[in-house]
Structure 1
Amino acid sequence: MRTLPARRTASLALAAALAGAGMTGLTGAARADAPPGAWTATEITGLAAPALYGVTAPDLGHAWAVGTQSSSSAPLILSYRHGAWTPQTAPAGTAPELVDVASGGPSNVWAVGQGGGDATAKALHWNGRAWKAVAYPRPLPMAVSVDSRGRAWSIGSNTDGSGAAVFRRTGGAWTDKGLALASGTLLDALAARTPKDVWAGGATSSGDGLWHYDGTSWTQMDIPGDWPHWVLQVAALSPDDVWFYTLPQDPLFSGPTLVHWDGTAFTVTKTPSPSATVRTYAQDVGFLGDIAPDGRGGVWLQDSRTAYYRHFDGTSWTSVPRPVNDLGGWPQVYDLAQVGRTASVRGVGPGAGDRLLIDRFR
């Protein structure tokens, strides 16, 4: 459920022109004690200008991280098993920038990629033994998710941003799930919890960029606020426990919010992240970082602009220092993923030189 910073872009000038309904349900950012555990980092070397854009961890013993290397000219796949990360070989013709990865178990992993021309493989499937290239219905995949039945869902569009749609893998083919969207709508986030509980997020010129699928039809949802919400990330745990990382499209660029759905209503919480650089990075969706469930009813957030992970327990925020590193700063975190249903979380982002770090909380 990742938004690639380089290619998945949308202008805030366009998004700021969106109109919305009145603000309700906004809560503040109180402080709380840090959750038990600590963030650590694993260093991986021997790579060429690496960057990771997506991570998935179906259980404590398995994980996959995907991205690009060699100045964005070759795909990068890392597999975690037996306590170590090792590179895996992508099929010939794989898109050079793998932007997202999702899993339904150690033998059912899906990745999608961008770049490399129309003939490049845009989707990959891991069956527990090898990666296989899979045809994709759009030239620009944006995200992938796996539902409770092990079926892959994905969102993609044309290279000019038109034709955004949601697809489900059925019978060896991608099926369009019928989300009719106005021209200019951006889809960049996806969470398929079950075949009858799917969330798609993005930005649109009319209302909030959030849609829900109940197995039959799509409904555009209305998040409280004075301005439309650009939905950047979705984490769906149950029908009455869904988290969204959003950017309200106000002209003052006030910064992102954390939104929670309890099955009946939305609650909007301002994040403690600084908002001064929102305008500077208006073209870089990835600068806003990501969210992931903490396994305790709360959420982890990394905003890619501070040396802290932010934790929200449903009421209050905690700032937890990131692991110390010698990469000359704090690498951005493009994706966070809960490890199975545990309280462990993994985080990935770009590296420096021939090295990169993969963070983990446990």
Structure 2
Amino acid sequence: MRTLPMVLLIPVVALGLLAGCTTLQNATAGNEQWRLAHRAPSLEFGASLVPLGEREAWAFGTRRVGWWHFGPTAYHWDGERWQASPLPSGLGAGGGPAGASSPANVWLVTSGDDDGRRALRWDGRTWTTMRTLPSQSVQEVEVLGDTDVWFFGDDTWHYTGSAWVRADVPVLVTRASARSATDIWAIGRDRRDETQPRVAHYDGTGWRIVPLGDALPASDTSSSYDLGGITADASGVWITADVSDMTAQTTTPLLLHRSGNVWRTERVTAVPGPWRETFDPVPDGRGGHWFLGSTDVNGDDAALAHRSPAGVWTLRPVGAPGTAEFTSLAGVPGGSWLLATGSFGDVRGIFRHQLPGR
């Protein structure tokens, strides 16, 4: 899930209202830091959040029983409550990436279809299937406007309003982030050599690979690295990476930062284990960023990590060991809350976290 930075701003008023709409049972779920905002079992795994404004937010998930998937789900926050939003029937196994540029331009891609992925659009009133994308996977959606939507994965498609164009991107994209229509960044694997992680950039005319130089250690038979999440904002381009030592059987989290034309690498000693999945850095509105890291070397126990603009790290466990699992994270830049989807014990849904001192 990605949106332009300006549409990620959710006034604190809305999230305060969200807190008030929960039942007593919901309000006591989670722990002192993370409270349940809406109970929804389909948001436990593989969910995505698309916050738009004080009266607009979306959460997408997958109905499932065990390992079996039974279709995507959508939940809409209207400023007073979360409620289910019916999707068209026959959409395949589950929900996928989502994004939006306005309340009347929300996009969702389904997953698990043998004959392609459905691209759905919400126009403010109803959901419409816009196209079946002939791609084996769609990993990311960047919605820059009504006539400017990117779908990234094994193939990259660009919707221009009048046409669907297959873009020539030299990377099998896993994550992407846009600062504007002519400044889009993506990470993934080299299309010619899938063992090699790559960074690519779009400048409005075409895509090119941006060399990392010596920002990452060289891969060899005893070590390898993976690029996890990416965020491009006013402070630069931020990429989370994990370096795995096969001999020592350890994984070290790294943070890459590009300012101007220079890459810098930072070993994140505050996080003892790997980054959680492919979560993107979340801007805090003050020049810092939030991350989902871990408190153990195996990466089993999630923790909320924060990096200040000065590079000072803090780490706070999400819950007691083995109690919490988050599948998406969304922030309120400069605000008082973070939102996440996942579970606390057997309680599944959307959780909110009030930031200290705000």
* TM-score for both structures, normalised by structure 2: 0.74
Q: Would you tell me which structure has more strand in proportion to its own residues?
A: 2
**Counterparts of 1:220-231 in structure 2 under 5 Å?**
220-223=209-212, 224-227=215-218, 229-231=225-227
How many angstroms apart in 1 are the aligned matches of 2:149 and 2:139? 13
Task: Write out per-residue CA displacement over residues 237-284 of structure 1, whole angstroms, 9 at most, x where no aligned residue.
Answer: 23x522212223654543322222212212222233233xx6xxxxxx
How many angstroms apart in 2 are the aligned matches of 1:167 and 1:340? 30
| Alignment of 1:293 onto 2:283 | yes
| Alignment of 1:310 onto 2:301 | no
Task: Write out per-residue CA displacement over residues 297-343 of structure 1, whole angstroms, 9 at most, x where no aligned residue.
Answer: 11111136435311111311112343x69xx9433222222347756
How many angstroms apart in 2 are the aligned matches of 1:303 and 1:254? 12
**Counterparts of 1:27-176 in structure 2 under 5 Å?**
39-45=33-39, 47=41, 50-71=44-65, 72-118=69-115, 122-135=118-131, 136-147=133-144, 151-156=148-153, 164-176=154-166
How many angstroms apart in 1 are the aligned matches of 2:244 and 2:111? 27
Task: Write out per-residue CA displacement over residues 208-258 of structure 1, whole angstroms, 9 at most, x where no aligned residue.
Answer: 4211111122221233121365322111223x5222122236545433222
| Alignment of 1:213 onto 2:213 | no
How many angstroms apart in 2 are the aligned matches of 1:333 and 1:290? 13
How many angstroms apart in 2 are the aligned matches of 1:214 and 1:49? 35
How many angstroms apart in 2 are the aligned matches of 1:50 and 1:244? 25
How many angstroms apart in 2 are the aligned matches of 1:349 and 1:180? 33
Higher mean C-alpha displacement, 255-264 vs 99-108: 255-264
How many angstroms apart in 2 are the aligned matches of 1:128 and 1:340? 25
CA pair 187-68 structure 1, distance change in 2 beyond 3 A: same
SS in 2 for 1:255: strand
Find the counterpart in structure 1 of residue 243 from structure 2: 248
How many angstroms apart in 1 are the aligned matches of 2:233 and 2:36? 27
How many angstroms apart in 2 are the aligned matches of 1:149 and 1:227? 42
Structure 1 residue 129 displacement after superposition: 1.0
SS in 2 for 1:70: strand
CA pair 201-307 structure 1, distance change in 2 beyond 3 A: closer
How many angstroms apart in 2 are the aligned matches of 1:91 and 1:208? 36
SS in 2 for 1:64: strand
Q: Is the 8 A contact 1:289 1:333 kept in 2?
A: no
How many angstroms apart in 1 are the aligned matches of 2:82 and 2:148? 26
Q: Is the 8 A contact 2:240 2:256 kept in 1?
A: yes
Find the counterpart in structure 2 of residue 331 from structure 1: 324
Find the counterpart in structure 1 of residue 24 from structure 2: none
Structure 1 counterpart of 2:201, one-letter code: H
Structure 1 residue 79 displacement after superposition: 1.3
Q: Is the 8 A contact 1:148 1:194 kept in 2?
A: no
Find the counterpart in structure 2 of residue 348 from structure 1: 341
How many angstroms apart in 1 are the aligned matches of 2:37 and 2:50? 18
Structure 1, unaligned stretches of length 5 or more? 3-37, 157-163, 279-284
Alignment length (residue pairs): 303
CA pair 287-132 structure 1, distance change in 2 beyond 3 A: same
Structure 1 counterpart of 2:272, one-letter code: P
Q: Is the 8 A contact 1:332 1:350 kept in 2?
A: yes
Q: What root-mean-square deviation, in Å, do the aligned CA atoms of Structure 1 and Structure 2 show?
A: 3.0
Structure 2 counterpart of 1:303, one-letter code: G
**Counterparts of 1:195-214 in structure 2 under 5 Å?**
195-204=181-190, 205=193, 207-214=196-203
How many angstroms apart in 1 are the aligned matches of 2:118 and 2:242? 28
Higher mean C-alpha displacement, 218-227 vs 301-310: 301-310
* TM-score for both structures, normalised by structure 1: 0.73
Q: Is the 8 A contact 2:42 2:61 kept in 1?
A: no
CA pair 127-319 structure 1, distance change in 2 beyond 3 A: same
- Report 1 or 2 for greater relative contact order, CA contacts < 8 Å, sequence distance ≥ 6: 1
Structure 2 counterpart of 1:302, one-letter code: L
CA pair 149-48 structure 1, distance change in 2 beyond 3 A: closer
Task: Write out per-residue CA displacement over residues 58-95 of structure 1, whole angstroms, 9 at most, x where no aligned residue.
Answer: 22322111120132222121111223221111111223
Find the counterpart in structure 2 of residue 29 from structure 1: none
Q: Is the 8 A contact 2:239 2:257 kept in 1?
A: yes
Structure 2 counterpart of 1:84, one-letter code: R
SS in 1 for 2:156: strand
Structure 1 residue 196 displacement after superposition: 1.0
CA pair 147-246 structure 1, distance change in 2 beyond 3 A: farther
Find the counterpart in structure 2 of residue 178 from structure 1: 168
Find the counterpart in structure 1 of residue 17 from structure 2: none
Find the counterpart in structure 1 of residue 233 from structure 2: 237
